[in-house]
């Protein structure tokens, strides 16, 4: 990894996302090692700071790196393999058989491909939702170390073969034994948590209702408290989750989660499309976090999560891209736009979820959900140097009337010019510094074809190919 002790990024339009949400014209950010040491007008920062590397950010927006709060690294390789089908068929007939055919090398290459896409579209930190042993945890953690990203890796824990009310539907290649999943999570936590200068964290990835017994939920929540480990889980993603919980436990999903000890600031629930007002109040009271995934939820017709209602109730909600077969991209800038517009249409109210709130969800709220608000999510002296530069010298971003509006409503990941994580330049002028893009693309194309062949699934465009 190229290493420089200090960087001065100057003459840019800085969105600080600090307490008062200051925007600096002709602003500069001074980086020493892995931290921001000064942030102010360029003339003031230049006065007493000499840098090894200077980056001219004229015509650029400088903002905190984006936090993707719900990602499946292993699904980058199977993008477009499960379009326009229902969630259960999506899982049972496509995603599970494909992922159930993975080798460790497939898992590693898919993670590299996914991180390549994330870096190129401005994501600097992500929460991986559920890694199966067959993807090879060590290889994936090494890939995170190599790319330079900040990654929270969740290892699947499970002990049943169901999904919500559908029993015994799990593909055999996706099954894991209870003891093995818990032990492996703890082993990975021991080996990787805090590694790479703190860039890698490890947490529990509880599979879902129907795939975990109440006993397992209780055991994992106790371990999470004892060892101060985070957890994540898909919950209330589809209406069937609620129907299943009411039938099996006589409770709503969030009420059941409270009963087995899952609620609290260590938990990030992905999706949360179908909570009732009582469940929303419970999430707020217990400071449980939510990852909103609007592309995935709309494409799979799961529904539209009541995000303005959750935010109003005091629930911390971040944003997630989910995966290659559900979104099908890992571009948080595009995800911000959908989050900002879809609720306006649902509630017939153009005032809900303004651009500023969408950007907060993609930065500071995501950081808070991961317990990292003290280090990332905004640009402030003392915080980690995780930041991105967006090139605004483009037709769709000109004239620069309002940078927040332009970022959320007009920009896309391709506009990201430079990415810095932990004080290291990962991409400059869209060229990757830590990995070879061509090599990853070549390897991913080959492995993607091999996985489909191994799973024995015929995936063709619906239109005839001449």
Indicate the residue among 322 and 357 with the shorter CB distance to Zn ion: 322
Give the per-residue SS3 of 390-432.
EECCCHHHCCCCCHHHHHHHHCCHHHEEEEEECCEEEEECCEE
Which 90-119 residues touch Zn ion, going by CB under 5 A? none
Q: Are 72 and 130 in contact (CB under 8 A)?
A: yes
Indicate the residue among 77 and 129 with the shorter CB distance to Zn ion: 129
Please report how close the Cβ of residue 374 comes to Zn ion at its closest, in angstroms.
27
- Out of 322, 360, 375, 386, the only residue in the binding site for Zn ion (CB under 5 A) is 322
Rounded distance between C-alpha atoms, residue 100 and residue 171, angstroms:
7
Segment near Zn ion (CB under 5 A); pick from 306-314, 315-323, 329-337, 413-421: 315-323
Q: Are 283 and 275 in contact (CB under 8 A)?
A: yes
Segment near Zn ion (CB under 5 A); pick from 4-12, 74-82, 258-266, 321-329: 321-329
CB within 8 Å of 127: residues ≥ 6 apart:
67, 68, 69, 70, 71, 152, 154, 232, 268, 291, 320, 369, 370
Q: To the nearest 10°, the Cα dihedral for 357, 358, 364, 367? A: 140
Segment near Zn ion (CB under 5 A); pick from 18-26, 28-36, 125-133, 255-263: 125-133
Indicate the residue among 130 and 358 with the shorter CB distance to Zn ion: 130
CB within 8 Å of 56: residues ≥ 6 apart:
10, 11
Indicate the residue among 61 and 268 with the shorter CB distance to Zn ion: 268
The CA distances from residue 348 to 8, 168, 341, 354, 355, in Å, are: 45, 41, 10, 14, 17
Indicate the residue among 319 and 426 with the shorter CB distance to Zn ion: 319
Helix (H) or strand (E) holding 299: helix 294-299
Indicate the residue among 185 and 302 with the shorter CB distance to Zn ion: 302
Please report how close the Cβ of residue 103 comes to Zn ion at its closest, in angstroms.
22
Indicate the residue among 29 and 235 with the shorter CB distance to Zn ion: 235
CB within 8 Å of 100: residues ≥ 6 apart:
134, 171, 172, 173, 174, 455
Please report how close the Cβ of residue 7 comes to Zn ion at its closest, in angstroms.
35
Segment near Zn ion (CB under 5 A); pick from 50-58, 86-94, 121-129, 141-149: 121-129
Please report how close the Cβ of residue 70 comes to Zn ion at its closest, in angstroms.
6
Indicate the residue among 297 and 316 with the shorter CB distance to Zn ion: 297
Please report how close the Cβ of residue 288 comes to Zn ion at its closest, in angstroms.
17
Cis peptide before 399 (omega within 30 of 0): yes
Site size for Zn ion (CB under 5 A): 2
Q: In the complex, which residue's CB is closest to Zn ion?
A: 322
Which 127-146 residues touch Zn ion, going by CB under 5 A? 129
Q: Is 331 an interacting residue with respect to Zn ion (CB under 5 A)?
A: no
Residues engaged in binding Zn ion (CB under 5 A): 129, 322
């Amino acid at each position: 990894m190229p290493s420089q002790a200090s960087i001065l990024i100057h003459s840019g339009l800085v969105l600080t996302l600090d307490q008062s949400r200051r925007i600096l014209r002709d602003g500069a950010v001074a980086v020493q090692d892995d931290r921001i040491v000064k942030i102010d007008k360029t003339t003031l920062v230049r006065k007493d700071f000499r840098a090894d590397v200077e980056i001219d950010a004229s015509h650029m927006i400088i903002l905190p790196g984006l936090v993707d709060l719900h990602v499946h690294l292993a699904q980058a390789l199977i993008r477009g393999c499960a379009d326009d089908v229902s969630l259960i068929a999506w899982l049972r007939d496509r995603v599970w058989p494909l992922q159930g055919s993975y080798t460790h090398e497939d898992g590693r290459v898919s993670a590299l491909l996914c991180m390549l896409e994330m870096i190129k579209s401005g994501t600097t930190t992500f929460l991986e939702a559920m890694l199966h042993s067959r993807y090879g945890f060590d290889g994936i953690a090494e890939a995170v170390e190599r790319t330079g990203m900040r990654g929270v890796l969740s290892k699947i824990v499970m002990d049943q073969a169901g999904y919500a009310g559908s029993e015994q539907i799990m593909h055999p290649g996706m099954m894991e034994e209870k003891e093995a999943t818990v032990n492996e999570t703890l082993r990975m936590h021991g080996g990787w948590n805090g590694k790479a200068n703190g860039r890698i964290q490890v947490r529990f990835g509880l599979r879902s209702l129907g795939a975990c017994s109440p006993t397992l939920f209780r055991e994992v929540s106790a371990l999470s408290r004892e060892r101060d480990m985070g957890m994540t889980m898909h919950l209330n993603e589809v209406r069937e989750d609620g129907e299943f919980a009411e039938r099996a436990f006589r409770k709503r999903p969030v009420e059941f989660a409270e009963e087995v000890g899952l609620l609290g600031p260590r938990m990030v629930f992905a999706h949360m499309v179908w909570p009732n007002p009582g469940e929303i109040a419970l999430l707020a009271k217990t400071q449980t976090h939510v990852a909103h995934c609007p592309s995935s939820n709309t494409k799979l017709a799961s529904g539209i999560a009541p995000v303005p209602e959750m935010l109003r109730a005091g629930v911390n909600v971040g944003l997630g891209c989910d995966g290659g077969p559900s979104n099908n991209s890992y571009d948080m800038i595009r995800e911000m736009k959908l989050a900002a517009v879809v609720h306006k249409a649902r509630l017939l109210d153009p005032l809900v979820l303004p651009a500023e709130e969408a950007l907060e969800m993609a930065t500071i709220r995501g950081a808070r959900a991961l317990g990292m608000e003290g280090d990332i999510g905004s640009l402030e002296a003392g915080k980690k140097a995780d930041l991105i530069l967006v090139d605004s010298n483009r037709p769709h971003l000109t004239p620069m009337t309002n940078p927040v509006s332009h970022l959320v409503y007009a920009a896309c990941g391709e506009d990201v010019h430079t990415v810095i994580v932990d004080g290291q330049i990962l991409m400059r002028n869209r060229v990757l510094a830590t990995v070879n893009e061509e090599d990853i693309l070549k390897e991913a194309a080959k492995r993607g074809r091999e996985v489909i062949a191994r799973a024995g699934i015929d995936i063709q465009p619906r239109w005839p190919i001449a």
